[in-house]
A and B are shown apart, each in its own frame.
Chain A
Amino acid sequence: MLKQSAVLAALAATLLTSSAWAEQRDERAGNCDDAKKQMDYFCNRENSANDTMVAVGTACTNARKNLAAACEGVIEEDQAYKFDDK
Chain B
Amino acid sequence: MQRHIGVHMSDDEMKLVEPADEVAFRSPVPTQMVSNGEYNPIPQTEQQAQVESLIKEMADVQAKRHGMDRRTFLATNAGMATAFLAMNKVFGPVFDVSEAEAGDMEMSNYRRAQLANQFIFDDQTHFIRDDFKQEGLLGLTKWAVGAKVNPRISEAPMTLARYKMDNYLKEIFLDSDTKMSLLSGAPFDDPSWWLLSNDAIQNACRAVNKMAGNTRMLGHTVITPKYPNWMDEVDRGIEQLKPVSWKSYTIGDPFGPSKYAWRLDDEKLMYPFYEKAIKSGINTICIHKGLMPRDYEKAFAGTWESATVNDLGKAAKDWPGMNFVIYHAAIRPWLADAPDREMAEFEKTGYIQWATDLARIPEKFGVNNVYAEVGTTFASTAVTNPRFCGALLGQLVNLMGAERVVWGTDSVWYGSPQWQIEALRRLEIPEDIMKKQGWKTRLGGPNSEVKQKIFGLNSAHLYGLDMKVATGPAFPPDKLADIKAEYLAMGGDTGRSNATYGYVAKKTAA
Contacts and interface: CB of A to CB of B under 8 A. Distances in A.
Interface of A: 26-31, 33-35, 37-38, 40-42, 48-63, 65-66, 69, 78-81, 83, 85-86
A78 B230 CA distance: 12
Given A65-B189, A85-B131, A86-B203, A28 B139 contact: no
Q: Which 3 A-B pairs have the closest CB atoms?
A: A30-B302, A59-B256, A34-B302
Given A38-B299, A66-B259, A80-B229, 18 more contacts: A28-B259, A28-B261, A29-B252, A34-B302, A38-B256, A38-B257, A38-B302, A41-B293, A50-B294, A51-B294, A53-B255, A58-B189, A58-B190, A61-B256, A65-B259, A66-B257, A81-B232, A86-B203
A85 B255 CA distance: 23
A55 B136 contact: yes
Contact of B257 (A57, A62, A80, A81): A62
A27 B261 CA distance: 11
Interface of B: 38-40, 129, 131, 134, 136-137, 139-140, 142-143, 188-191, 193-194, 197-200, 203, 224, 226-230, 232-233, 252-253, 255-261, 293-295, 298-303, 334-335, 337
Contacts of B139: 52-53, 55-57
A81 B194 CA distance: 10
A51 B301 contact: no
B137 to A, nearest CB: 6
A69 B334 contact: no
B142 A52 contact: yes
A86 to B, nearest CB: 4
Contacts of B142: 52, 55
Given A53-B334, A62-B190, A81 B199 contact: no
18 contacts: A33-B301, A34-B302, A35-B301, A38-B298, A38-B301, A41-B298, A48-B38, A48-B39, A53-B139, A54-B293, A55-B39, A58-B255, A59-B257, A62-B257, A65-B189, A65-B259, A86-B199, A86-B200
Contact of A58 (B134, B228, B294): B134
Contacts of A28: 226, 259-261
Contacts of B303: 29-30, 34
Contacts of B232: 81
Contacts of B252: 29
Contacts of B38: 48-49, 55
B337 to A, nearest CB: 7
A29 B203 contact: no
Contacts, number: 142
A63 B256 contact: yes
Contacts of A63: 256-257
B129 A56 contact: no
A48 B303 CA distance: 21
Most buried by B among A34, A38, A58, A60: A58
B299 A62 contact: no
Contacts of A53: 139, 255-256, 293, 299, 334
A52 B197 contact: no
Contact of B258 (A29, A60, A80): A29
A54 B255 CA distance: 8
Contacts of B256: 38, 42, 53, 58-63
A29 B334 contact: no
A52 B334 contact: yes
A51 B203 contact: no
A56 B253 CA distance: 13
A37 B304 CA distance: 13
A14 to B, nearest CB: 27
Given A58-B190, A62-B253, A79-B227, A26 B137 contact: no
A26 B334 contact: no
A35 B39 CA distance: 26
Nearest to A27: B302
A41 B134 CA distance: 21
Nearest to B141: A52
B14 to A, nearest CB: 15
B257 A40 contact: no
Contacts of B259: 26, 28-29, 65-66, 69
A85 B131 CA distance: 9
Contacts of A60: 256
A42 B295 CA distance: 11
Contacts of A31: 302
B190 A52 contact: no
Contacts of A83: 194, 197-200
Given A37-B298, A51-B337, A85-B200, A29 B136 contact: no
Contact of A79 (B129, B191, B301): B191
A78 B134 CA distance: 22
Contact of A50 (B198, B253, B301, B337): B337
